[in-house]
Amino acid sequence: MKPVVTWIVLANTREVRILVNRGPGKGLEPLANKHWRAEGVDKPRDKAGVGHSIAGPAVSAVDPGDPQRQSDIRFARKVAGRLSNSLDKKRFHRLVLVSGPLMLGLLRGVAEDRLKDVIVEEVAKDLTAQPIDVVKSHLGAVIAV
């Protein structure tokens, strides 16, 4: 019988690491080439502009948007796309998302339904920079590591 492969996705809006569990009691190990980083963000150089109304003497500010937020969304889409691609190649059977609340919400929003179907648990905590032993302690109630 083939083992059930579970990927543990450790994510925040700047980076993603993936650990793998190949069955109960097999522990966690980092996957090679599965450490992704977001691209840097160029901050606006100017203050918001001002637009004049054609309907009268009113003036309004022009909001340049939030480049950091747009970068976070692009990164979440990139991560979800890579996970979907790996699911297509049958590299894992289940996913556990371990992420800070912001990235967790972004991933939920951009993930395809077929990817959402293999998510067995979500942990709203950023453990991206933590060693594997600390991650294990947070996953004890989720999967048999």
SS3 for 72?
helix
Percent of the chain with pLDDT over 70: 83
Mean pLDDT score across all residues of the chain: 87
Q: In this predicted structure, what is the pLDDT of residue 60?
A: 61
Q: In this predicted structure, what is the pLDDT of residue 23?
A: 86
- How far is residue 53's CA from residue 76's CA, in Å, rounded to a whole number? 37
The mean per-residue pLDDT over the stretch 19-46 comes to 84
- Domains of the chain (ranges plus CATH)? 6-37+64-139 (3.30.420.60)
Instruction: Report whether 121 contacts 32 (CB < 8 A).
Output: no
Band of residue 56 on the pLDDT scale cut at 50, 70, 90: low
The pTM of the full predicted model, rounded to 2 decimals, is: 0.82
Q: Is residue 47 scored above 80 in pLDDT?
A: no
Strand 49-52 with 29-37, pairing: unpaired
Instruction: Report whether 104 contacts 97 (CB < 8 A).
Output: yes
Q: In this predicted structure, what is the pLDDT of residue 114?
A: 95
Instruction: Give the side-chain half-sphere CA count within 13 A for 92.
Output: 25
The better pLDDT of the pair 61, 120 is held by 120
Band of residue 102 on the pLDDT scale cut at 50, 70, 90: very high
